[in-house]
């Protein structure tokens, strides 16, 4: 668990004339949960692609350790494969069929989809699909999860439920996580550290550490405080918006 | 319950429409608006049908046409799909071949008829050639377009989970285009059936198309209608059979989104 | 899931393909054609093309006559149109066929080495008019529509000759090209007023009661020729004895058909796939509607056809008739073929 999962040093990424990332430096420790927030179009997906190795930086260096797996916003599952087949994709390295079957049923149990093993993705709800993706990414012995707005296609309640699920599952299967999200609450509730990016060309505007141990509740004081901070950092008046949201809740 | 009722209805309604069409036909032919040789009565057609069945000619023509369609279609599919897969993956191949393929696709297979006869004579070979021609280009183009439009995310996932080469082809590329492939197979099989009958009409010595032409030359409208009925029924059966392809569980996703 | 479905479908397809191929070729049947003579020597055989018209009647009759003969076996192949015959000959898959005379000339003109060996018939075409028209000769058809099988047909040429004779100008009759099988129907539906075609497509309208005879071909042009027996020079060069058998077979079948008209109708109807009554009607009502004697082509007959063809614009050159005709295979003693029509 010691050591670094990622080290970015002065990483820039340019698409022709468009400079997306500028001299970004970031260390991510093994086992750490980092959330990345920032304005739309600032380069969050680009950053994830650099981390996963699907994209190359224009300059700067990226060091990574361990195997990463990506969870997509939606439709990352193979629609022509059943839940079981999709998850088994993550277990391809296991040679022993008995062991593979055991792990498969463990994972299905973990995401609470017993009885849906032979369903196809189009027969599942959005939340169920995201859980299958999660299980596929967690299967086998990968070390890092890269998640690009994994819950953004879900409705609010499902999103909150999925947050709990993610926290619970990570408790059973600890991983290094980089989570890109628009949802500040989500970042505050799940992450050890939140990285706030500026407008394009993106730089790190600030980093916010949240010390309370996971899992956390939505209304834990530290989470609420962090949410406020993030709103301010993103240029939205934290207090004002909190007022309304508190009023709303009471 | 309602499922069952739906099924019963989905059989009864078309049967009723067919029966009504038959009754209308019978009525018109009895009313005598047309000469007997211009509109044969259903009874005469049934008689002719029985006669053709007994002589074995109907069966022979049917087998002949089906054989030609099956072989020609299979050749087209077995050549066309791999070519389409290759072109779908290689932009350069696409750029190079697409204009030519589009050009060839727009030529009616029947325009090739004289060449088919010159090169292959009158018989199975020329009919199979024409069938093959009529299915080949649509198959290649549809496969190619389908492959080129596979969402990139599937290939990224494949890469992440270590699917490469043949495994990637069988587990990702082909399943990803299956729904379009099946639709395309149905369409081009229908096309083949049209073409074989037309091709046999223009040249041949057996097959249903030839039988139609021959009945016409023989001034036997009753036979001709019997053959038309068989052609239509086989066309429907062909499509029904291929329609079952889309019921394969692993391709349902393509029809339910 | 995909795997097992795929296996099922591949298996099903394989079974279907095997089944349909077996049904198509029936390998368990011995070859249907009696290619082997009694002594076990391979008999010569030759495929000859024809259309189901009574002008070509001697072709299937010869086929019928040589089914069991010890000499060459002639296999008559029925076509549905002339272009297919021509393309099959060009492709080298058909070496002898019946065809309309101007078409043979056109082929020769285009450089295809074919020769006219013999005639298929004399007469056998008829001008039909709608029963309700009072027309008595061609002059009464001024302003009317007359159908012919094609511009390359002798009928088209001959009707122009008759128009000339009667002083009808070329544009006074409206010509349309129609496939012969459609002509009786078109006449009945009054889509056309008259048509000129080879039998049995004229007789059909007569039998149905929608048309009546205006002219038999013999009234316009005695011993009218429309179709001839054509062979590729390669066949003549390489298998002269087969060609000799063929011409003799046609001649003797013709002689037999001339004298056994009921039998000829019975033999030919299945080859034509036409109603026997219709074929019988053509051959007997009246008996001289079509004739299968005097089948030696004369230079004069063919020259006249050629000149009419040039005049009508369907031929371009005055080809030498002596190059076109080969009379060397025509037998001098023609006796009726020995055919048992039962
Ligand atoms: N392949 C590419 N070619 C050219 N420009 C690109 C490419 N990919 C991304 N960009 C540009 O980079 C910028 C950042 O894109 P990116 O997808 O990383 O944004 P994001 O932060 O993920 O936005 P969102 O929150 O809306 O998902 C965009 O302005 C886009 O125009
Ligand atoms: Mg993004």
Task: Kindly report the nearest CA distance between residue C244 and chain B, in angstroms.
Answer: 25
* Mean pLDDT, residues A68-81 taken together: 86
Asked if residue C258 is part of any domain, the answer here is yes
Report whether pLDDT(C2) > 80.
no
Choosing from C220, C246, C264, the residue where a domain stops is C220
C-alpha to C-alpha distance for C103 and C305, rounded to whole angstroms: 11
Are residues C214 and C136 part of one domain? yes
Chains touching chain A through at least 3 C-beta pairs below 8 angstroms are: B, C
Report whether pLDDT(A1) > 80.
no
Report whether pLDDT(C36) > 60.
no
Chain A CB within 8 Å of residue C1 CB: yes
Burial class (CB in 10 A: 0-12, 13-18, 19+), C171: exposed
Chain B CB within 8 Å of residue A90 CB: yes
CA terminus-to-terminus distance, chain A: 42
Q: Does the C-beta of A41 come closer than 6 Å to ligand 1? A: yes
Distance A213 CA to ligand 1 centre (A): 33
Confidence of residue A248 (pLDDT cuts 50, 70, 90): very low
| pLDDT at residue number A249 | 31
B176 contact residues in A (CB cutoff 8 A): 78, 80
Chains B–C, number of C-beta pairs less than 8 Å apart: 112
Give the number of the atom of ligand 1 that is nearest the alpha carbon of residue A47: 18
Confidence of residue B179 (pLDDT cuts 50, 70, 90): very high
C-alpha to C-alpha distance for C251 and C257, rounded to whole angstroms: 10
Distance A73 CA to ligand 1 centre (A): 15
Give the number of the atom of ligand 1 that is nearest the alpha carbon of residue A48: 18
| pLDDT at residue number A82 | 92
Are residues C138 and C186 part of one domain? yes
- Smallest Cα–Cα separation from C86: which of C97, C75, C77? C97
pTM: 0.78
Of C84, C185, C210, the CB nearest to B117: C84
| pLDDT at residue number B172 | 93
Distance A31 CA to ligand 2 centre (A): 23
Task: Pick the residue from chain C with its C-alpha nearest to B252.
Answer: C2
**Complete edge-to-edge strand list for the sheet that includes strand C45-50:** C73-78, C45-50, C96-100, C227-232, C114-119
Q: Do A82 and C1 touch (CB under 8 A)?
A: yes
Are residues C115 and C147 part of one domain? no
* Mean pLDDT, residues A46-66 taken together: 88
Q: Give the number of domains in chain A.
A: 1
Please write the tens of the pLDDT for every residue from C217-228.
888 888 888 889
C-alpha to C-alpha distance for B145 and B133, rounded to whole angstroms: 19
Give the number of the atom of ligand 1 that is nearest the alpha carbon of residue A42: 21
Asked if residue A223 is part of any domain, the answer here is yes
Distances in whole angstroms, Cα of residue C76 to Cα of each of C63, C66, C67, C307: 6, 10, 11, 31
Three-state DSSP state, C336: coil
Q: Do B35 and C208 touch (CB under 8 A)?
A: yes
Which of B89 and C69 is assigned the larger pLDDT? B89
| CATH, residue A245 | 3.40.50.300
Q: Give the number of domains in chain C.
A: 2
Report whether pLDDT(C112) > 90.
no
Asked if residue C296 is part of any domain, the answer here is yes
C-alpha to C-alpha distance for C273 and B115, rounded to whole angstroms: 28
Lowest-pLDDT range of A60-64, B18-22, B136-140, B233-237: A60-64
ipTM for the whole complex: 0.85
Q: Which residues of B touch A (CB under 8 A)?
A: 151, 153-154, 156-157, 160-163, 171-172, 175-176, 178, 249-254, 256-257
Please write the tens of the pLDDT for every residue from C124-158.
888 999 988 888 888 888 888 898 888 778 888 88
Mutate to test the interface with A, among C2, C4, C5 (most CBs of A within 10 A): C2
| pLDDT at residue number C37 | 39
B162 contact residues in A (CB cutoff 8 A): 92-93
| CATH, residue C41 | 3.40.190.10
* Mean pLDDT, residues C191-215 taken together: 88
Confidence of residue C33 (pLDDT cuts 50, 70, 90): very low
* Mean pLDDT, residues A224-244 taken together: 71
Lowest-pLDDT range of B94-98, B229-233, C124-128, C178-182: C178-182
State both tokens at B17: 């429409």
Are residues C319 and C240 part of one domain? yes
Asked if residue C52 is part of any domain, the answer here is yes
Asked if residue C133 is part of any domain, the answer here is yes
Report whether pLDDT(B4) > 80.
no
Task: Pick the residue from chain C with its C-alpha nearest to B176.
Answer: C2
Mutate to test the interface with B, among A51, A72, A75, A80 (most CBs of B within 10 A): A80
Are residues C251 and C106 part of one domain? yes
Domain region containing C271: 37-122+224-324
Report whether pLDDT(C100) > 80.
yes
Asked if residue C32 is part of any domain, the answer here is no
Q: Do A82 and C2 touch (CB under 8 A)?
A: no
* Mean pLDDT, residues C182-210 taken together: 87
What is the DSSP-derived secondary structure letter of residue A74?
S
Are residues C264 and C241 part of one domain? yes
Dihedral sign computed on CA atoms, order A166, A170, A175, A177:
positive
Please write the tens of the pLDDT for every residue from A104-152.
998 888 888 889 999 999 999 888 888 898 888 888 778 889 999 888 8
C-alpha to C-alpha distance for C104 and B76, rounded to whole angstroms: 38
Q: Decide: C72 and C44 in contact? Cβ < 8 Å.
A: yes
Are residues C147 and C107 part of one domain? no
Q: Does the C-beta of A54 come closer than 6 Å to ligand 1? A: no
Report whether pLDDT(A239) > 70.
no
* Mean pLDDT, residues B53-79 taken together: 92
Are residues C306 and C229 part of one domain? yes
Q: Decide: C227 and C101 in contact? Cβ < 8 Å.
A: yes
Percent of chain C, pLDDT > 70? 93
B160 contact residues in A (CB cutoff 8 A): 52, 69-70
């Amino acid at each position: 668990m010691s050591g670094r999962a990622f080290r970015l040093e002065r990483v820039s990424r340019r698409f022709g004339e468009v400079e997306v990332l500028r001299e970004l430096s970031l260390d991510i420790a093994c086992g750490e949960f980092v959330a990345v927030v920032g304005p739309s179009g600032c380069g969050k997906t680009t950053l994830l692609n650099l981390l996963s190795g699907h994209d190359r930086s224009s300059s700067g260096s990226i060091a990574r350790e361990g195997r990463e797996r990506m969870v997509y916003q939606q439709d990352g599952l193979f629609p022509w494969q059943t839940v079981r087949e999709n998850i088994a994709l993550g277990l391809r390295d296991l040679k022993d069929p008995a062991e593979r079957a055991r792990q498969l049923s463990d994972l299905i149990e973990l995401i609470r989809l017993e009885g849906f093993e032979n369903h196809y993705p189009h027969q599942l709800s959005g939340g169920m699909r995201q859980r299958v993706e999660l299980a596929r990414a967690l299967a086998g012995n990968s070390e890092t999860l890269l998640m690009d707005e994994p819950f953004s296609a879900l409705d609010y309640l499902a999103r909150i439920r999925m947050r709990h699920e993610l926290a619970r599952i990570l408790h059973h299967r600890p991983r290094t996580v980089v989570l890109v999200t628009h949802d500040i609450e989500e970042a505050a509730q799940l992450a050890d550290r939140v990285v706030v990016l500026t407008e394009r060309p993106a730089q790190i505007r600030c980093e916010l550490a949240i010390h309370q141990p996971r899992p956390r509740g939505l209304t834990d004081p530290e989470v609420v405080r962090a949410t406020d901070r993030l709103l301010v950092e993103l240029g939205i008046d934290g207090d004002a918006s909190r007022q309304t949201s508190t009023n709303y809740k009471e | 319950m309602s499922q069952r009722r739906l099924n019963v209805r989905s059989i009864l309604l078309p049967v009723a429409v067919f029966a009504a069409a038959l009754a209308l036909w019978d009525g018109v032919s009895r009313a005598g608006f047309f000469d007997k040789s211009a509109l044969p009565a259903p009874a005469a057609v049934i008689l002719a049908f029985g006669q053709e069945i007994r002589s074995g000619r109907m069966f022979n023509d049917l087998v002949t046409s089906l054989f030609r369609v099956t072989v020609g279609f299979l050749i087209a599919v077995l050549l066309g799909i791999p070519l389409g897969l290759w072109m779908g993956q290689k932009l350069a191949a696409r750029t190079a071949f697409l204009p030519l393929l589009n050009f060839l696709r727009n030529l009616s297979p029947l325009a090739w008829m004289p060449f088919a006869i010159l090169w292959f004579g009158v018989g199975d070979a020329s009919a199979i050639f024409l069938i093959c021609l009529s299915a080949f280009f649509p198959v290649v183009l549809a496969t190619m377009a389908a492959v080129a439009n596979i969402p990139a995310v599937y290939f990224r996932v494949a890469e992440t989970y270590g699917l490469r080469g043949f495994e990637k082809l069988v587990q990702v590329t082909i399943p990803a285009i299956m729904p379009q492939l099946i639709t395309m197979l149905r369409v081009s099989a229908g096309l083949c059936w049209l073409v074989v009958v037309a091709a046999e009409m223009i040249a041949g010595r057996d097959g249903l198309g030839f039988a139609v032409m021959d009945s016409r030359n023989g001034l036997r409208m009753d036979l001709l209608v019997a053959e038309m009925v068989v052609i239509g029924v086989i066309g429907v059966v062909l499509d029904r059979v291929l329609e079952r392809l889309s019921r394969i569980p692993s391709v349902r996703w393509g029809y339910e989104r | 899931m995909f795997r097992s479905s795929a296996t099922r479908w591949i298996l099903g397809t394989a079974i279907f393909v095997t089944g349909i191929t077996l049904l198509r070729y029936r390998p368990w049947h011995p070859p249907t054609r009696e290619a082997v003579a009694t002594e076990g020597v391979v008999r010569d055989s030759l495929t000859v093309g024809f259309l189901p018209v009574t002008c070509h009647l001697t072709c299937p009759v010869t086929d019928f006559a040589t089914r069991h003969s010890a000499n060459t076996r002639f296999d008559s192949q029925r076509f549905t149109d002339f272009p297919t015959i021509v393309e099959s000959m060009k492709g080298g898959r058909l070496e002898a066929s019946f065809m309309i005379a101007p078409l043979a000339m056109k082929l020769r003109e285009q450089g295809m080495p074919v020769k006219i060996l013999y005639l298929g018939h004399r007469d056998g075409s008829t001008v039909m008019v709608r029963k309700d028209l009072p027309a008595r000769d061609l002059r009464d058809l001024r302003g009317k529509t007359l159908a012919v099988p094609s511009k390359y047909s002798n009928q088209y040429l001959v009707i122009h000759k008759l128009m000339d004779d009667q002083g009808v100008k070329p544009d006074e009759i409206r010509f349309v090209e129609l496939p012969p099988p459609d002509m009786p129907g078109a006449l009945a539906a009054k889509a056309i007023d008259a048509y000129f075609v080879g039998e049995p497509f004229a007789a059909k309208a007569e039998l149905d009661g929608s048309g009546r005879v205006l002219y038999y071909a013999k009234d316009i042009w005695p011993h009218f020729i429309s179709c001839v027996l054509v062979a590729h020079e390669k066949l003549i060069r390489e298998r002269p004895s087969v060609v000799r058998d063929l011409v003799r077979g046609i001649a003797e079948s013709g002689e037999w058909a001339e004298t056994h008209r009921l039998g000829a109708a019975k033999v030919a109807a299945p080859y034509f796939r036409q109603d026997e009554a219709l074929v019988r009607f053509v051959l007997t009502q009246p008996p001289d509607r079509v004739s299968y004697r005097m089948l030696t082509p004369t230079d004069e007959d063919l020259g006249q056809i050629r000149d009419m063809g040039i005049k009508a614009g369907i031929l371009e050159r005055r080809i030498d008739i002596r190059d076109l005709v080969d009379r060397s295979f025509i037998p001098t003693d023609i006796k009726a073929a020995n055919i048992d029509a039962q």
